[in-house]
Structure 1
Amino acid sequence: MYKLGFIGCGNMAKAMLGGILEHKTYDAIEIIGSDPFEPSRRSAEEKFGIHVTEDNCEVVQNSEIVILSVKPQYCEAVIRDIKKAAREDQLFITIIPGKTLGWLEEKMEKKVKVVRTMPNTPAMVNEGMTGACCNEAVNEEEIEKAKKILSGFGKVEFVPENLMDIVTGVSGSSPAYTFLFIEALADGAVAGGMPRSQAYRFAAQAVLGSAKLLLETGKHPGELKDMVSSPGGTTIGGIRILEKNGFRSSVMEAVLEGARIAKTL
């Protein structure tokens, strides 16, 4: 019997595996993964040393905890494949946007223990942010097990399920918005004469340091903004241009649009 099973060995599963193994939450010999795509299976096997199979049911039958790491469009077919093998004493952790706890229970056709999560791609460098919720069948010990797994590649917070789509908007999708912002900062620097590779380093480090400053000081982001916005200075001038072009409104709309689409998946 394996401690942990992955159904799906794609990028997010690999990000999770890297953190789980690095933090020694589980050893490679305690983990099994399945994927219909042979290169994905081989990549997971070679990189992490886990056991792999193309049979999803083998994972479910032989794992204490199962992580469903599949795209939303394939989720129903996967559940149809594994539901007979699923046991009511198993813990299922899902990273499938838009699929509610009730939907998962309905498709399983039995009462199962489910933790629904929304991680993000910074999990690939152990700096992920994961939102999670669970159904009533999950006990406190199992919640702690889930937290231990999810904190292996970043931070995790449990939230009410009605906030899970907003989690998708504010952290699940926002790395892409952040990369877009970094690219735009670098483009501005390049326009001003800086070499592109150097511009990316300056922009990315500024974003990294700003996020760390916010988290470690606990100060309101507006207060930190005001600290660097001298009267008549360069920063407040740049802020004026951003606000003139609807910067904050655009970001807010992007978060809400991500949440809206998540509900339809």
Structure 2
Amino acid sequence: MGQAGSSSPSSLLTDPRSCLSPGKVEAQHVLASAPTDRNLCHFRALGCKTTHSNQEVLQTCSLVFFATKPHILPAVLAEVAPVVTSEHILVSVAAGVSLSTLEELLPPTARVLRVSPNLPCVVHEGAMVMARGRHAGSSEAEFLQTLLEACGQCEEVPEAQVDIHTGLSGSGVAFVCTFSEALAEGAIKMGMPSGLAHRIAAQTLLGTAKMLLQKGQHPAQLRTDVCTPSGTTIYGLHALEQGGLRAATMSAVEEPHCCTVSHSGKLKGAGLEGSPPTLGRRQCGDGHHEGDVASEGLSTGSAGQVGEGVAAWQALVAV
């Protein structure tokens, strides 16, 4: 397994432990590339092979992850295109770079897939979605899904939902942390020690998430089960509604998606996109947003900069 564009240990998707710990991929079977040694030391410490040549990754590995920032990816694809064959399975974690764009920059029969991961991949509790290109069949999709499940939950979706995932789950990690912090601070305000409050808040989120997943209930049903007529919980929910929590959260999920689509539009303007996107109501100033790092997880191979979401992804990189 190989990865072209390896970021530093601080990034999410580039942490080889995400995939190596469960035994899905052995370290000696991972080959990672980066322009300098700075971002490769972590891979070497885990027993992975490294190189400064992206083409060497393609010549050595049949499964290759591209963990670069969106504006770097076209140059990397142009570099490796001459050595891409029909035997390769190519996976991009670059936010906002469509499958059609990837296919335009690669040989006509290239098997391409997109994946959007998030930060909890590092602890094998990630929430990921994937979409396949025209020449990637069900066997490639099932193979990739099986591999990624070492990092958490992975579902195949239509490509349009990959960018939506950025706001829901990529950036969503930050939104949930903000709520957890506020939950704990409410208890701290009333006298509970900080450490205890944050531990209880985090465990409350964990327990609630497990109930939703294991029981398959709609959140509204579980919320109703907690409420009793004239009880304490309904008063608290009233306060949340007065504060606009629901509307603010929905808008928070929408904004990263708008930024991703805006970035895609800028790629189009540079002649890198194949079809005009539907632009969101707000454009990101530099075409980059926090969700990209989850896509969370993009790292910048050429620039050596890291996106939040890349750490978990490098764990999966290169077979």
- Give the TM-score of the pair, scaled to structure 2: 0.78
Partner Cα separation in structure 1 for residue 43 and residue 31 of structure 2: 10
Query: Could you say which residue in structure 2 is the equivalent of 1:213?
Result: 211
**Partner SS state of residue 83, structure 1:** helix
Partner Cα separation in structure 1 for residue 121 and residue 42 of structure 2: 18
1:92 corresponds to 2:98: no
2:84–2:107 contact (8 Å) kept in structure 1: no
Over 3 Å counting, the alpha-carbon distance change for 1:233 and 1:98 in structure 2 is same
**Partner SS state of residue 72, structure 2:** helix
Query: Could you say which residue in structure 2 is the equivalent of 1:13?
Result: 13
- Return the letter of the residue paired with 1:9: S
Shift of 1:14: 3.0
- Return the letter of the residue paired with 1:8: G
- Return the letter of the residue paired with 1:38: D
Structure 1 residues 1-265: aligned runs within 5 Å: 4-10=1-7, 11-15=11-15, 17-46=16-45, 48-265=46-263
Indicate the structure whose relative CO is greater, using CA pairs within 8 Å and at least 6 residues apart: 2
Shift of 1:239: 0.7
**Partner SS state of residue 137, structure 1:** coil
**Partner SS state of residue 135, structure 2:** coil
Shift of 1:36: 2.4
Aligned length: 260
Over 3 Å counting, the alpha-carbon distance change for 1:37 and 1:231 in structure 2 is farther
Shift of 1:37: 4.2
Partner Cα separation in structure 2 for residue 191 and residue 87 of structure 1: 61
Partner Cα separation in structure 1 for residue 100 and residue 150 of structure 2: 27
Partner Cα separation in structure 2 for residue 247 and residue 135 of structure 1: 37
Q: Which has the higher helix share?
A: 1
Aligned-residue sequence identity (percent) comes to 33
Partner Cα separation in structure 1 for residue 157 and residue 208 of structure 2: 25
Partner Cα separation in structure 2 for residue 152 and residue 36 of structure 1: 28
Partner Cα separation in structure 1 for residue 28 and residue 223 of structure 2: 48
Partner Cα separation in structure 2 for residue 34 and residue 213 of structure 1: 41
Shift of 1:99: 0.8
Shift of 1:67: 0.5
Query: Could you say which residue in structure 1 is the equivalent of 2:314?
Result: none
Partner Cα separation in structure 1 for residue 168 and residue 91 of structure 2: 21
Partner Cα separation in structure 2 for residue 112 and residue 165 of structure 1: 22
1:18–1:153 contact (8 Å) kept in structure 2: no
Alpha carbon RMSD of aligned pairs, Å?
A: 1.4
Partner Cα separation in structure 2 for residue 170 and residue 13 of structure 1: 17
Shift of 1:132: 0.5
Partner Cα separation in structure 2 for residue 235 and residue 160 of structure 1: 38
Over 3 Å counting, the alpha-carbon distance change for 1:24 and 1:55 in structure 2 is same
Partner Cα separation in structure 2 for residue 264 and residue 65 of structure 1: 30
- Give the TM-score of the pair, scaled to structure 1: 0.93
1:12–1:69 contact (8 Å) kept in structure 2: no
2:13–2:122 contact (8 Å) kept in structure 1: no
Partner Cα separation in structure 1 for residue 137 and residue 183 of structure 2: 46
**Partner SS state of residue 67, structure 1:** strand
Shift of 1:68: 0.7
Structure 1 portions without partners, runs of 5+: none
Partner Cα separation in structure 2 for residue 9 and residue 198 of structure 1: 37
Shift of 1:245: 1.3
Shift of 1:109: 5.0
Q: CA deviation digits over 1:204-246, x for unaligned, max 9?
A: 1101111011001111110100111122222111111111111
**Partner SS state of residue 72, structure 1:** coil
